[in-house]
Amino acid sequence: MAVIVKVPEKNLWSEICKDFDSRRPPFRDDDEQSVRTEYVDFDPSKHNPVFYGKMHEKVLADADPVLDIDPATSHPACAGFAFTEKPPASPPPPPPDAPNKDKCSPREYLEHYIFPWLLPAIEDMLRQAKKEKCLERKRTKFNALDYLTETLYKKNPLHKDRENVTLEEIPFVKEWLKDHPRPPLPLSLIWTEDEATQIIQNYWRGFLVRKDPEVQELRQWQREWREETGGIQDKVSQFWDKKMPGWDTPTPNASEDQLNKEEGNAPITVKSPSQQT
């Protein structure tokens, strides 16, 4: 028996994304249809370096085409194939006139005022996430929302002086972080693989050095020496306290005005030792 279910309402965001994706040229990873691919995206595990990014077609011949291949000028894998240059990329169509912000529909507003800036920023964010290996690890230091915020703030067409602004320098981010401070990231997310490898190797080499019997003997002697001489300052203070009690008490230093008041404003005279005798 068939069950009638409720059909979900159409999502405007999903419809616009599908429409935007349909306008873009298809991406083809196979070597036979890699005419529009760029060489910077070459992956030796997925593409053939001989055919990648070139237009080619297999040509049927009666004779063996391998016999006509010169390894000094061509690759043996090109035997039986014809190659031609890639066609020039056609310029993109001019963008349509933007509608009025106050009178257009939500779909038109998104297509003309939001998506032209948001979608390139999302693509840039995905590329950066790939560099940070977010698709290979469960935990990374990369924050997609922070990256989008910083990218959109820098690329605001109304402000041309934001190229070197970081996320922490954005005014509204500063205000938010004052009320909602973030805990520091653990070192496992801050260190790169090379830094973590170097630190682990340093600790391991230090352990091997400290494990040496001669180094162990030296460290034992240093430990005993510190225990014997660790309270040398206290011992010196106790010695002088016994010999000269109050030796560390500061001598009062009264000013001349205070002494004159205490002595009834009588002048103080200092006599030489010969006069005192």
pLDDT at 61 > cutoff 50: yes
Residue 250 has a pLDDT of 58
Bigger pLDDT: 244 or 117? 117
> Taking the CA atoms of the chain, what radius of gyration do you get in angstroms?
40
pLDDT tens digits, 208-266: 998 899 988 998 988 888 877 766 777 778 778 887 777 666 555 555 555 555 555 55
Residue 149 has a pLDDT of 92
Strand partners, 65: none
Q: Of 127-141, 178-192, 232-246, which range is least confident?
A: 232-246
pLDDT at 191 > cutoff 80: yes
pLDDT at 77 > cutoff 80: no
Q: Give CA–CA dist 230/236, Å, rounded.
A: 12
Helix (H, G, I), strand (E, B) or coil at 196: helix
Strands (E), the chain: 55-58, 81-84
Residue 1 has a pLDDT of 45
Q: Is 139 within 8 Å of 190 (Cβ atoms)?
A: no
Find the angle CA(129)-CA(135)-CA(141) to the nearest 5 degrees: 55
The first and second tokens of residue 24, run together, are 């873009």
Bigger pLDDT: 98 or 86? 98
pLDDT confidence bin for 27, thresholds 50/70/90: very low
Strand partners, 81: 58
Find the angle CA(272)-CA(275)-CA(277) to the nearest 5 degrees: 115
Residue 29 has a pLDDT of 41
Q: Is 25 within 8 Å of 50 (Cβ atoms)?
A: no
Residue 237 has a pLDDT of 80
Q: Is 170 within 8 Å of 149 (Cβ atoms)?
A: yes
Residue 3 has a pLDDT of 47
pLDDT at 189 > cutoff 80: yes
How high is the mean pLDDT of the chain? 76
- For the chain, the helix, strand and coil percentages under 3-state DSSP, each to the nearest 5: 50, 5, 50
Q: Is 25 within 8 Å of 37 (Cβ atoms)?
A: no
pLDDT at 201 > cutoff 90: yes
- For range 85-101, the mean pLDDT: 76
Residue 150, burial from CB neighbour count under 10 angstroms (0-12, 13-18, 19+):
buried
Q: Is 155 within 8 Å of 161 (Cβ atoms)?
A: no
Q: Is 194 within 8 Å of 202 (Cβ atoms)?
A: no
- Helix 115-131 vs helix 12-23: angle between axes, to the nearest 10 degrees? 80
pLDDT at 108 > cutoff 60: yes
Q: Where are the domains of the chain?
A: 10-84, 106-189
- For range 35-60, the mean pLDDT: 69
